[in-house]
Amino acid sequence: MKIAPSILSADFGNLEKSINLVRDAEWLHVDVMDGHFVPNISIGPVVVKGLRKYTNQVLDTHLMITDPAKYLEDFIVAGSDRITFHIEATKDPIDVINLIREKGAKVGISIKPNTEVNEISDYIHLIDQVLVMSVEPGFGGQKFMINSLEKIKAISALRDVFNKDLLIVVDGGINKETAILCKEAGADVLVAGSYVFNSDNPNAQMRLLK
């Protein structure tokens, strides 16, 4: 499995040092929050551009923002390799998917804990990843919501039929116990923020989880 450390739990005063702390991770998860779609504000494209200078790791960018179509090009130009938007944040998902593809990034759709899988089933064949939120988006360090497992299983069943290459990413409350449950349910990538960074050796903690 892939583990994508979430820099939301890293030291924003010293991001170069933070990413060096998880140097063996293939992906870095970058949480973008606008204070509107979620009740918190994090970072914008300028920080992605800064990260890009210091790492070749895949920048897996999770847009927790209203109107993703308006900003996604800025993130891709800044260096985001993968862009995940929320199905709840747009009226025209096909348009957003096409825009991300045109600009050359991989495409993901995320669902919040109270959004049903059938909201995204029409788009499974068009995208590269689904990101299942296993906490309410907005903050790190929350408790894993167990109902996410049924959603992972349902998406895994859709994958078998519509898109064998689809990656299932799970984000929120990942630790060594919940990781196993996600894996058994069909997840491919686990996003982990506090579990990785709130440890003495984030790289070792990330490897342990993997």
In the set 18, 21, 31, 187, which binds Zn ion (CB under 5 A)?
A: 31
188 near Zn ion, rule: CB under 5 A: no
Q: Which of 34, 81, 128, 171 is catalytic?
A: 171
Beta strand pairing call for 2-5 and 189-192: parallel
Question: Taking the complex as a whole, how short is the minimal distance between the CB of residue 78 and ligand DX5, in angstroms?
Answer: 19
Note whether 192 and 135 are within 8 A (CB). no
* 172: contact with ligand DX5 by CB under 6 A: yes
Q: Is 194 in the site for ligand DX5 (CB under 6 A)?
A: yes
Q: Is 60 in the site for Zn ion (CB under 5 A)?
A: no
62 near ligand DX5 (CB under 6 A): yes
Q: Which stretch binds Zn ion (CB under 5 A): 37-45, 58-66, 69-77, 148-156?
A: 58-66
Q: Counting contacts by CB under 5 A, is residue 62 touching Zn ion?
A: yes
E-assigned strands of 77-153?
82-86, 106-111, 129-133
Q: How far is Cα 195 from Cα 203, in angstroms, rounded to an integer?
A: 11
Structural contact between residues 87 and 64, judged by C-beta atoms closer than 8 angstroms: no
What is the rounded CA–CA span in Å between residue 98 and residue 83? Answer: 12
CA distance 129 to 102: 17
Distance from C-alpha of 127 to C-alpha of 120, rounded to nearest angstrom: 10
Q: How far is the CB of 190 from Zn ion (least distance, A)?
A: 11
Active site amino acids: 31, 171
Residues that bind ligand DX5 (CB under 6 A): 6, 8-9, 29, 31, 62, 135, 137-142, 171-174, 191-195
